[in-house]
Structure 1
Amino acid sequence: MAHRLTVIGTGYLGATHAACMADLGFEVLGLDVDQHKIDCLSAGDLPFYEPGLEPVLRRNLENGRLRFTTSYAEAAEFGDVHFVCVGTPQKSGEYAADLAYVDAAIDSLAPLLRRPCLIVGKSTVPVGTAARLAERIGRLAPAEGDAVLAWNPEFLREGFAVQDTMHPDRIVVGLPTDQGAAEHAEKVLRELYSSMTTTGTPFITADYPTSELVKVAANAFLATKISFINAMAEVCEAAHADVTKLSEALSHDDRIGGKFLGPGLGFGGGCLPKDIRAFMARAGELGADQALTFLREVDEINIRRRIRMVDLARHLLGGSFIGRTVGVLGAAFKPNSDDVRDSPALDVAATIRAQGARVTVYDPQAMDNARRVHPDLTFGSSTLDAARGAHVVLLLTEWEEFREMDPAELASVVAEKNIVDGRNALDPEVWRAAGWNYRALGRP
């Protein structure tokens, strides 16, 4: 008999996982305590933007393999495998991760488990969480429940979530120390992911703590690589060198590679910043804080890029934003997303407005989220609308439509032809030939 799955938490990770597992042929029940979110998903509407996901959602609602609920009792009765996909945001005023949603999910589900099942954690958590939750499940689940916990971290990239779910580059599974429970959990997860492993996706088994560390270690490495090339951008500016050429040359070294070596405004979003901070906090609790002190500098380099962007724009305007108009292209933290959490683009826009400029922002997908976070900013309806009357235009999120802008068309609406390319996404020669004063981070 095929396993029936529940997915607890229907945010970005959970909604994607639920829809994609249904598309693989499983019966899936998604659960969330947010009734509005459940109503949206049940109607086939995504509460966030992710290319390619909505057709998968609607297809599986229509064929009956996917549905949604707010009832933990219904989920406990329905599921053979329960995936925990709730958020772990940064605690207010601290670096540590807030595990309140994870704990609440386990506390709500475990007492209702009256038959054998597998609980699979996918949320990004501090190392040591899985062992603590396994003990908690053992205490809370009824004696006849026989609930086993495994940890299966997610590696989704926003903008590529369907591809990353259906064709992951690896599957990592953290198993309990009890051999029988571990063998059962591995068998079930190999069955669930068989369509992926038969096409060559590596299936890596480990203990709980190793599986928990894989995700945060991967994010720490990516953040370090991004901040490394942005640190080189700082040196390039001081030395009048070109960081894009430096990055290109480094990318041909097989030991380094070109991925995540794009210099610019730095990283943001709901994962990298909070994950590296939580990693530092947990290392401190474990007495290994010195091992990750370099991540503090990684974080600081990232924030400095935003400050440098503001400084560059102010310099182009003669040293002051007061009474000047600034057009900002981009609000999402990256293209192909509407996520504005810790968005470098919005941070820069808000900082410039606070320094006296009139700022107009445009983003192809993130306008509603940006308005909620920064109602103080002005928002345009298009690229040209955002740039209208601007004394300087800032490209802060590298959407394809911004990369392909016509310099002459943009020039027809601005007050002054100043542009700062915060993502090194434009061709300087093309823009300078069109009469623009072009500046970019890390370039002469």
Structure 2
Amino acid sequence: MKISVIGCGYLGAVHAASMAELGHEVIGIDVDQRKIEALAAGRAPFFEPGLPEILLSASASGRLTFSTEMASAADAQVHFIAVGTPQRVGSYSADMTYVDAALESLLPFLKDGDLVVGKSTVPVGTAARLAERVQEVAPGANLAWNPEFLREGFAVKDTISPDRLVYGVSPEPEAAAASKAILDEVYSKALSEETPLVVTDYATAELVKVSANAFLATKISFINAIAEIAEVTGANVTELADAIGFDARIGRRFLNAGVGFGGGCLPKDIRAFGARAEELGRGESLAFLKEVDAINLRRRQRVVDLVLELLDGQAFEKRVAVLGLAFKPDSDDIRDSPALDVAVQLNGLGAIVSATDPEAIPNAHAKHPQLHFVDDVADAVKDAEVVVLLTEWKEYRSLVPADIEGLVAGRRIIDGRNVLDSTSWRAAGWEYRAMGRP
């Protein structure tokens, strides 16, 4: 099919390249000239495993092109809107400026039979509002909502072989049937592999995405709240999580205590969800998300407090190594990153911070040039009095005391992700501290 993808940030670039890899003819559109030039040259503007390879192969095949002109979408039959919905300045609400602008720019080029497909994470009620606008200007076109469920680090796989598909379609039967038929063709490969499909209304499709993120955030903050209790009782939150995780009703995934979640989705999505509930007069229904957010932010402060404990209450001019800056491994995304936040706080306390990350240093430097960045673990830990592991990259998870023993000034390590073998570190004479573990 001929597809346009409007917005070529993280979501849009992955979606465009993946759709082309599946055999569709795709035009990616974005107002950022430099981003478009990079993508057209086969260069991913951010780190995502597998994306450079499909960018190159899809571009070489001629199925994937990029443009800054919305008119380039005129020949497409399916138009995916994949622009950002950041947190509005001075508010927890989502900023819909980019979604609305994308649709308004697209409207003059819509034809009878076209389908506009929202992929951005939006407040419930947005799809119905946009569908009305489509019908006003292009009554022969339809709108559907098809939320994304990408995991950074696995986004290409999650797009080409998703674990489920959700279509939010019009309440009008003919429009709904037409939209479903088009989306079934777009996702024919996934459907042929018996990927679960939910066809529902606009509001449900919008709520599926934010509800999933709210549940995951709640699960992470729940185990971190238990970690707070474990820290004052001597319990081991990791063993506790193993034990309750055997209950099929609970499950072990995302029950990992640590420095908390970050990124461009969970934090801003749960805040926007709560704000939307307030607008709907049901703020009490999601009031618990404020505590989920508060627990998450407290874990960052807990790491700073642990550093101060190990340094006898004084961080000024003490050398601290920070391992990890991205909010999660296999990504260079520093948006609302707990790791970067901790590094900035320690620097603000006067510590001499040496921070490293396999991929996120350029982004971190652009945002916080006051930090001292180094290329690898050896440089980071040189003469450090405390080592702090904050992003669970494979090379950090596999660290053993012998790797850094002769480089540090003090044998003190904080495992902010609970991924190291505490027994081996303590046996080697290190003072080992973790999150919710004795």
TM-score after normalising by structure 2: 0.99
Q: 2:93 aligns with which of 91, 96, 103?
A: 96
Q: How far apart, CA to CA, are the structure 1 residues paired with 2:396 and 2:82?
A: 34
**Contact 1:88–1:125, Cα closer than 8 Å, also in 2:** yes
1:118 has 2:115 as partner = yes
> Which string of whole-angstrom CA distances, capped at 9 and with x for unpartnered residues, describes residues 148-183 of structure 1?
000000000000001111111110000011111111
Query: Residue 140 of structure 1: CA displacement?
Result: 3.2
> Which string of whole-angstrom CA distances, capped at 9 and with x for unpartnered residues, describes residues 346-378 of structure 1?
100101111110111000000100001111100
Unmatched 5+ stretches in structure 2: none
Match of 1:226 in 2: 220
Match of 1:214 in 2: 208
Q: How far apart, CA to CA, are the structure 1 residues paired with 2:110 and 2:116?
A: 10
Q: How far apart, CA to CA, are the structure 2 residues paired with 1:217 and 1:378?
A: 38
Q: How far apart, CA to CA, are the structure 2 residues paired with 1:159 and 1:434?
A: 33
Match of 1:35 in 2: 33
Match of 1:354 in 2: 348
Match of 2:11 in 1: 13
Q: 1:335 aligns with which of 325, 329, 335?
A: 329
Q: How far apart, CA to CA, are the structure 1 residues paired with 2:244 and 2:416?
A: 21
Query: Residue 409 of structure 1: CA displacement?
Result: 2.6
Q: How far apart, CA to CA, are the structure 1 residues paired with 2:279 and 2:400?
A: 52
Q: How far apart, CA to CA, are the structure 2 residues paired with 1:193 and 1:114?
A: 22
**Contact 1:9–1:85, Cα closer than 8 Å, also in 2:** yes
Q: How far apart, CA to CA, are the structure 2 residues paired with 1:226 and 1:409?
A: 31
1:127 has 2:124 as partner = yes
The percentage of aligned residue pairs carrying the same residue is: 58
Match of 1:407 in 2: 401
Query: Residue 115 of structure 1: CA displacement?
Result: 3.9
Query: Residue 147 of structure 1: CA displacement?
Result: 1.4
> Which string of whole-angstrom CA distances, capped at 9 and with x for unpartnered residues, describes residues 52-71 of structure 1?
11101100100101110111
Q: How far apart, CA to CA, are the structure 2 residues paired with 1:51 and 1:284?
A: 38
Match of 1:176 in 2: 170
Query: Residue 139 of structure 1: CA displacement?
Result: 2.4
Match of 1:51 in 2: 49
Q: How far apart, CA to CA, are the structure 1 residues paired with 2:430 and 2:75?
A: 62
1:147 has 2:141 as partner = yes
Q: 1:289 aligns with which of 283, 298, 305?
A: 283
Match of 1:73 in 2: 71
**Contact 2:27–2:72, Cα closer than 8 Å, also in 1:** no
1:199 has 2:196 as partner = no
Q: How far apart, CA to CA, are the structure 2 residues paired with 1:409 and 1:207?
A: 55
> Which string of whole-angstrom CA distances, capped at 9 and with x for unpartnered residues, describes residues 214-249 of structure 1?
000000000000000000000000111111110111
Q: How far apart, CA to CA, are the structure 2 residues paired with 1:116 and 1:200?
A: 27
**Contact 1:270–1:342, Cα closer than 8 Å, also in 2:** yes
Query: Residue 323 of structure 1: CA displacement?
Result: 1.7
Query: Residue 114 of structure 1: CA displacement?
Result: 3.8
Q: How far apart, CA to CA, are the structure 1 residues paired with 2:49 and 2:72?
A: 31
The 5-angstrom pairing of residues 257-276 of structure 1 reads 257-276=251-270
Q: 1:61 aligns with which of 59, 62, 74?
A: 59
Query: Residue 406 of structure 1: CA displacement?
Result: 3.0
TM-score after normalising by structure 1: 0.98
> Which string of whole-angstrom CA distances, capped at 9 and with x for unpartnered residues, describes residues 61-115 of structure 1?
001011101111121x221000000000001121000010000000100022244
- Describe the SS at the equivalent of 2:144: strand
**Contact 1:107–1:140, Cα closer than 8 Å, also in 2:** no
- Describe the SS at the equivalent of 2:317: coil
Query: Residue 340 of structure 1: CA displacement?
Result: 0.1
Q: How far apart, CA to CA, are the structure 1 residues paired with 2:320 and 2:119?
A: 41
Q: How far apart, CA to CA, are the structure 2 residues paired with 1:351 and 1:136?
A: 46
Equivalent pairs counted in the alignment come to 438
- Describe the SS at the equivalent of 2:287: helix
> Which string of whole-angstrom CA distances, capped at 9 and with x for unpartnered residues, describes residues 392-430 of structure 1?
000000000001123123121111010000000100011
Q: How far apart, CA to CA, are the structure 1 residues paired with 2:397 and 2:136?
A: 55
- Describe the SS at the equivalent of 1:51: coil
Using the TM superposition, name which of 409-418 and 357-366 deviates more. 409-418
1:107 has 2:104 as partner = yes
Aligned residue type for 1:119: V
Match of 2:237 in 1: 243
Q: 1:136 aligns with which of 133, 137, 157?
A: 133
Q: How far apart, CA to CA, are the structure 1 residues paired with 2:145 and 2:434?
A: 43
Unmatched 5+ stretches in structure 1: none
